Structure 1
Amino acid sequence: MVTTAPKAEVPAAPGPAVPGRGPAVAAADADPPPADQRTVPRQKDGVPRSRAVRTRPPGAEHEVGSDPLDHADPAVAAEAAAVENLLRCWVRETGLGRPDGPAGTPLRIPLAASGAVLLVTVRHWSRAGWHRFAGARIEAAPGDAPGLDAVTLAALIAREGAYRDGDGNGNGNGTADLVGRVADSVRRTAEFIADRRARPVAPAAVEADRFLTAEQSLLLGHPLQPDPKSREGLSETEARRYSPELHGSFPLHWFAVAPSALATDSAWTEGGRPVSAARLLARLAPGLPLPAGATPLPLHPWQARELLQRPAVTALRDAGLLHDLGPYGDPWYPTSSVRTVHRPGAPAMLKLSLGLRITNSRRENLRKELHRGVEVHRLLRTGLAEQWQAAHPRFDIVRDPAWVAVDAPDGTPVPGLDALLRHNPFRPGDDAVCVAALTSPRPWPGRATMSSRLAEIVRSLAVATGRTTSAVAAEWFLRYLDHVVLPVLAFDALAGIALEAHQQNTLVLLDPAGWPAGGRYRDNQGYYFRESHRAELENRLPGIGSASDTFVSDAVTDERFAYYLGINNVLGVIGAFGSQQLADERVLLAAFRRFLGKAAGLGPLPARLLDSPTLRCKANLLTRLGGLDELVGPVDTQSVYVTIANPLHG
C-alpha cells in the first residue's frame, strides 16, 4: 500500500513565529511585503472580496508601470500576451539567462540570422520560467519607435530558428506556419478578451455548472505556447459557436453506423451491470431516428462537414454502411480543449475528433488512444484504484470507459469517425478547475485589470483570515502539493504508471473557501506504462498494452514525467504565484524541495527533480518550427526537447 509522505513545510525565515499558525505561515509572515495595495471588489466564482490587501511579496521584481495585459484596447492586450509567450518560449528553449545589471536592464537577444539584437523590457524574471516582459524592440531602432508586434517577432524568431538548424538563409519551412498561426492566435485572443469584457457573466446554463464555467474561462492559454489560441480553419461564425472562450454551444451532428462497420468497446457499468456504448449514446440523444440495428455516432459539426468531403466516408455512405442523420438534440458546450464537449446533467462527456490544428496537433482520436481509455478503466477496477485511494481518497482519474468508431470494409480504422465517452464525475456545484484556467489572467466584472482565479482566491483568503498574501499563497501551495501532486507520485510508485499531468490535464478540487481539497487527472492519451513494470501490469490485466501501445522505456518515462508534472505543472504554479505578485518564488521552490525530500520513496521522480542539475523540457516553439505533430510517431520523437537548468537543484 502507498503511504502518504509527511506534509511539506516552508523553510522558516528569520523572525518570530505567529501565534496559532503553522510553520508555513510563520515563514511567510516573518518578512511582510511592501505596502503595495490594491482594492479588490466583490466578484463571482465563489470569491467574495471587499477590502484592500497587500499584493507584492518579498522578492517581487516587477517594474513600476501598468500591465500591458490591462490595456483598454483588446487588440493591444492580445498583442502583449502573444509577444510575452514568444519571448518566454525563446528564452527557455535557447537557454538565455537573466540580464546582468541593475533593475531595469533590458534583456539582449542576439539574432544572428537577421544581424540584429532585440532589447526586451523585463517586468519580472521568474526562476520557474513565467517571466513577464513589456515589449521588445530592435536595438538600433530610434528610442521612440514602437515595440515589435507579435507577427514581426514571430518572423524574426522563426528565421533565427531555421538559421540555427543549418539553413543559412533562415527560410525554414516552419517560418510561414508559425507567423500565420501567431497572427491567428492574436486575432482570436483579442476577440476573446473583448467579448469577456463586454459579457463578463456567463449565460445562465453555463454559470449554473461550476465545472463548465471554469472550463470556459481560459482566455489566454498556456504561457509557454507560441500560439495558444490558433484555430486555423474556423470561420468567424464557426468560432463563435465552437469556442469555449465565447461561451459557444451547438447541437451535435449524428451519424448511424451499420453493424458491419462498427468498432466499439465499453467497460461502462451501472449498478454492476455492463452498459454498451450504443445504449449510452442513445440515452444522450433520445428520439434520434436510427435505421434498424444501427448504432448512433455523434460528431463535432465542423468535423462532420469535413468528413463528408473525404472519399472514404463517401464510399461508406454509398455502401449503406454510414447514414448522415444531421444535427440533433440539445446543445453541448465545448470545454477548454475545444473538442471535448459537456452538457450539464449528462452522465457522460464526449471527446470528439476535430481535425483543426490546436497547439501542436490535429485533434483526431487515434484508435490506440480509444483502447487506452478503456484499458486504464479496467486496470483501475482490478483493485488498483482502491489500493491507491486508500491513502489518497480525494484524487482520481476521470475515466474514459467506452467508445464507438468506424472501420472500413477491409477492417482498417476510418480516421476521424469516432467518439469517446468520458465519465462526468462533477455535480453542478463542484468547484473543479484545470490548473491552466486557475492560473491564467482574465477579465473580471467591473474591473479594468485582468487577474487569475488563483489570485482572486489568494487575495480573498488573505482578507478573510487577516493574513498576508504571501502567507496564504504558501499554505495554498503546500495543500496543492499534498492533494494533487502527491497522489500522482504515489500512483507511479504503486503501479509503474506516470500520468501526463500537465496544467490542462490536471484538475484541482477547491473547497468553499478556495483551498485545494482534491484533484482529478483526465486524458486518455497521457499514460506512460513503465517497461520495468510490464510483468506486474500484465498480471493485473492480461494483454494490457497490446492494442493501446502504452508501454514506454523507463528512461523516456522519467524524462516526460519530470517535464509534465515537475516543470509544466508544479513549476508552472510556482511561476504563476511569482509573476502575479502573490508569493516569492524562492520560498515556494524551497517548499517544493522539502516536499520532494519527504516523498523520496514514491518512485524515481522526486530524486530526479532534486538531484539533477539540468532537466529535459519540451520546447513548444521549436516543436512548432520543426513541423511536428505530437500525436504522430513514436512517443520519444513526437516533440522537441531541450535541456534547461533545474531551479530546484542545489
Structure 2
Amino acid sequence: MTAPDPVERELLTRVLDALLREDAYRLRRTARTEHHPDGDWLRLAVPGGARLPVEPDGFQCEVRVRRPLLATDDGTAVTGLRPVLERLRPVVAAQDRPGFEDFAAECAAELAVRRVHRGARREVTERLALAYGPAAADWTGPRGALAYDALAAFRDHPVYPTGHARNGLTEPELRPYAPEFHRGFALRWLLLPRPAVHRGPGPLPPWWPTPARLGLPGDRHRQLALPVHPLTAGEPLTRALNETGLADTARLAPRPWLTALPTLSMRTVALAGDPATHLKLPLATATLGLRNRRTIKPGTLDDGALAQRLLETVLGREPRFASTVLLADEGTHLGAGHELLAALVRRLPGGLERAQVVPVAALLARTPDGGLVADALAGRHYHGSLPALLDAALTLLLDWHTTLFGYGIALEAHQQNTSLVLDRDPAGRTRLRLLLKDNDGPRINSTRLLSRLGDRAAPLLAFGDRRITVADDGPVADVFTTITLHLCAGALAFELDRLGRIPLAVALRRIRQRLERALSRIPPDAAAVLRTRVLDADRLPVKAMITAGTLLSKERSGAADINKHYVDGPNYLRHPLSLEPPR
C-alpha cells in the first residue's frame, strides 16, 4: 500500500480533528487518555482497539491530532484517509451509515481538489502578480479585492475539514469557475415574463440587458432578464423551469453576455468591467456539508435586504461607527419562485478605489512572494507591526458586534463576509474600516430590539425565515461566539501562534481586553449576558458543522438550522488547556 502523501496526511489530520471536536459518534466522550513517553494518546472505543496520538489545543476542543494515524492493539499503524475511516466505521449506527458514506465521499473529493491546488497555486499566484502587481500591499479597490479572494480560496476553512469540496462538480467544472483559479467567464441570461419575477426594493442597474441586447425577440416592458451562472444553465436550469411551469415561456439567451470573475464565494461573481458590482447566482452544489446547498431559497434575499435596513438603522443611532462600518447594498434582487431562479445585485460602497479591501479569510494567506497578506498590510499601514494591525482589527470588530448585541442582533458575518478596508484618511493617517455583506442569516432577539428601537422595530422584524427572530439572548450569544469570536478572532490568534508570529497568550489576552472594553459601552443587562456566556463561561458553543451538514440527518441531529447546531468546547479566553474530556 502506498504511504499517504503530505496532502493526504494534512487532510486526515483535519478530518480527525473535526470528528473529535464535534464528538461525532461519541468518539471523544467515550475515549480514555493514555500517557506514554512519546506523548498522549486517546484510546477510542472502537471494536478491535484504536489509539489516536493527540496533543493539547484549546481552540474549540481540548486536543488536536498529533500524527494522522490510528494504532491498533497489535501495534499496526493505520494510515491514509480511507483506511482510517474504515477503521472508525463500526462505531457508526446502521441508520447513520449513509451520512458516513457521504462524508467519506466528501473527503475523497476534498483530497482530489487539494492535489489540484498543489499543482495550480504557483501558476495562479504568478498570474495574480502579473495582473495586479507583485506586491500584495498594492492591490487596491474592488478589483484588488478579487485577488485577495483568490489567495484566500486556497486556504482551509478554520474548522471545516473539507471546505474546498463542491458536491457534484468535477475538476473540469471547477477550473473555469472556482475562485482559487481566478478565471474570467461569460454569464448566461434567461428571459422571463415580468409577472413571474419577484423584485426587491432596489433599482436594477441602467446597463441591465434588454431582450434585444441578448439576441432574443421580446418586449422589455413585458420580459425581464435574469443572470444565470454557466454551471446552472444546463440540466439544473431545465429542471427548475419545469418545476415552476416556466419552461414554455422562458428563453435562455443563445449567447453569453458580460464577463465575470468569481469572488471567494463561488456563487457570487464580480463584473470584470465593474468589480464593485457583484451578482450572487444560485449553484446546484453544496459546500461545508452536503445539506448546505448553494442555491438561493425564495425569501432569502428579501430577508437580507431587511437585515441591511436594520443595520442601517443601528448605524444611524451609533455615530461612532458612521465612518468605520460600511455596508454593501443588497436591496436589488430578483427571484422566480425557485431556488435556482434568483439573483442578487450587490453594490459595494463607493470611495474604495485607493483602499485595500481584504476579507478576514485572506489575512493569513500567502502572497505571491511567500509572505502573509497580513504582513504586507502591516508593512504598508502599521510600520510593519503585525500586532498593531491585529489589535486595530480586533478593536473595531468586537466593538461593532458587541454594539449589535446590545440591540439583540448577531450576524453571520464570518471570515468570508467581513472585510478589512485599509487606506489613509484626509489627514494622511491610517484608517481601518469594516465592510459587511451577505447578512441574510442573523439571529435577533426581538424583545431586546423592541426595547431599544420601540415602534421603529416592528417593520424591521418582518423576516420570512422564522428562525431569525428569537425571544431571548441565548441564540444570539451563540452566533456572536461561534462567528465573531471563534472564526474572526480566535482562529487568527491560534494560527498566528502556530506560525510563530504572535504568542497565543498575548493574542488571547488582547481579545479579552478588547471585548471587556466593548462591553463597557453597551447596556449593562446586555453586557452581563456576554460576560456570563463568553468571558466567564466554563465552556463555549462550537458549531457541529460536519455532524449537522453531512454525518446525520436532521431527524437524527435535531438541527433546525444546520449552520446553528452546536456542541461545546473549552473557553480559551478563560481556562488553561486540559487533555481531560468534559464531564
Residues 229-276 of structure 1, C-alpha deviation per residue, up to 9 Å, x if partnerless? 111222322111111111132111100111221111123xxxxxxxx2
Q: Trace 1:174-253 onto structure 2 (pairs within 5 A).
A: 174-203=99-128, 209-217=143-151, 218-253=153-188
Residue 347 of structure 1, CA deviation? 4.5
Q: Which SS does the other structure have where 1:281 is aligned?
A: coil
**Aligned mates of 1:628, 1:455 — CA distance in 2:** 43
Report the CA distance between 1:475 and its aligned residue: 2.8
Equivalent residue for 1:508, pick from 400, 411, 420: 420
Q: 1:327 to 1:192 in 2, by over 3 A?
A: farther
Query: Residues 3-22 of structure 1, C-alpha deviation per residue, up to 9 Å, x if partnerless?
Result: xxxxxxxxxxxxxxxxxxxx
Letter of the 1:566 partner, please give it. Answer: L
What is the aligned partner in structure 1 of residue 197 from structure 2? Answer: 262
Q: What are the residue-to-residue correspondences of 1:220-619 with 2, within 5 Å?
A: 220-267=155-202, 276-277=203-204, 279=206, 281-282=208-209, 287-289=213-215, 291-292=218-219, 293-310=222-239, 312-313=241-242, 316-320=245-249, 322-344=250-272, 345-360=274-289, 361-381=292-312, 383-391=313-321, 393-406=323-336, 413-425=337-349, 427-440=352-365, 442=366, 444-445=368-369, 452-454=372-374, 472-493=385-406, 495-511=407-423, 517-535=432-450, 539-540=455-456, 542-549=458-465, 550-554=468-472, 555-601=474-520, 602=522, 603=526, 604-619=529-544
**Structure 1 residues 624 and 127: CA distance shift in structure 2, 3 A:** closer
Amino acid across the alignment from 2:420: V
Unpaired runs of at least 5, structure 1: 1-74, 268-275, 407-412, 466-471
Q: CA deviation at 1:620?
A: 1.9
1:174-209 superposed Cα distances (whole Å, 9 cap, x missing partner) = 111011111101111121221112342235556662
1:514, CA displacement in angstroms?
13
Which stretch shifts more, 608-617 or 75-84?
75-84
* Structure 1 residues 438-483: Cα deviation after superposition (integer angstroms, max 9, x where no partner): 234x4744x5xxx64335656x589965xxxxxx443333212212
Asked if 2 retains the 8 angstrom alpha-carbon contact of 1:353 and 1:419, the reply is: yes
Deviates more, 1:557-566 or 1:237-246: 557-566
RMSD of Structure 2 on Structure 1 (CA): 3.6
Q: Displacement of 1:358 after TM fit? A: 1.0
Distance of 1:189 and 1:239 partners within structure 2 = 12
- Partners of 2:436 and 2:322 in 1: CA distance: 13
| 1:150 matched residue in structure 2 | 81
Taking the aligned partners of 1:521 and 1:646, their CA distance within structure 2 comes to 27
User: For the Cα contact (< 8 Å) 2:263–2:270, is it kept in 1?
Assistant: yes
Give the Cα separation in 1 of the matches to 2:504 and 2:21: 17
1:81 counterpart residue number: 10
For the 8 Å contact 2:226–2:334, the answer to whether it is kept is: yes
Q: 1:578 to 1:327 in 2, by over 3 A?
A: farther
Q: How many residues in Structure 1 have an aligned counterpart in Structure 2?
A: 536
Amino acid at match of 1:339: R
Cα distance in 1 for partners of 2:205, 2:322 equals 34
**Structure 2 unpaired stretches of 5+:** 134-138, 576-583
Q: What is the letter of the counterpart of residue 231 of structure 2?
A: W
CA 1:206–1:372: 2 relative to 1, 3 Å: farther
Inter-partner Cα distance in structure 1 for 2:199 and 2:572: 46
Q: Distance in 1 between matches of 2:96 and 2:224?
A: 50
The 1:256/1:386 distance shift into structure 2, 3 A limit, reads same
Work out the percentage of aligned pairs sharing the same amino acid: 21
- Note the C-alpha offset of 1:537: 5.3
Does 2:53 match 1:120?
yes
Shift of 1:422: 1.0
| TM-score, normalization by structure 2 | 0.81
One-letter amino acid of the counterpart of residue 208, structure 2: L
Change over 3 Å in CA distance of 1:266–1:279 after alignment to 2: farther
Measure, in 2, the Cα distance between the counterparts of 1:330 and 1:552.
Answer: 42
Cα 1:205–1:262 change in 2 (3 A) is farther
TM-score normalised to the size of structure 1? 0.73
Which digits, 9 at most, give the CA deviation of each residue in 1:413-452, with x for residues without a partner? 2221000111123745431222222234x4744x5xxx64
